Structure 1
């Protein structure tokens, strides 16, 4: 009785394992295509693939060779000249 239960359990485990392998071979290409398509959409949106309708209208209005400045830079930048103290050192072998 114990041996029959053990054999039945091993058989079920083997069927699940081989069934999973067969299904993985069938559906893996579809899954990879789906993931690649989503990644392409995501990266395409970040690198200029997606444009706002307002941006498209502005690009159509611009003439060739025309320079457009969207934002004027701040001239109030002041650099801190006293950044720190320079320490000279000698390397000891």
Structure 2
């Protein structure tokens, strides 16, 4: 069985600090590259989705040659429903 020693404690603190600063240094080097790659990939996916949706909408609009216009709905705008009367309340002192 091992007992705790002061030198072992100092050595552990040294390893923790060394790991922290090495990790911090490597993060400064590689994190911007990683973020740049992720942003580029997201941009490519967005462009592909936009292109796909534009192609599909263009194909559907090209296939339809007729336009249906309902004149009855255009002359009578949609009325709002009246639910009830407005009641004005007075404050009593």
TM bracket, shorter-chain basis: 0.5 to 0.7
1:31 pairs with one of 31, 34, 43: 34
CA shift in 2, pair 1:32/1:90, >3 Å:
farther
- Cα distance in 1 for residues equivalent to 2:47 and 2:84: 44
Matched, 1:51 2:53: yes
TM-score (norm 1): 0.55
Report the equivalent of 2:86. 86
Higher helix fraction: Structure 1 or Structure 2?
A: 2
Unmatched runs of 5 consecutive residues or more in structure 2: none
Say if 1:54 and 1:36 are closer, same or farther in 2 by CA, change over 3 A.
closer
Which runs of 5 or more residues in structure 1 are unaligned? none
**Aligned-pair RMSD on alpha carbons?**
3.9
Q: Distance in 1 between matches of 2:66 and 2:46?
A: 27
Aligned residues: 82
> Rg bigger for which structure?
2
- Matches of 2:91 and 2:46, distance apart in 1: 49
Q: Show structure 1 runs of 4+ deviating over 3 A.
A: 41-46, 52-59, 89-92
CA displacement at 1:80 relative to structure 2: 5.7
* Corresponding residue number in structure 1 for 2:22: 19
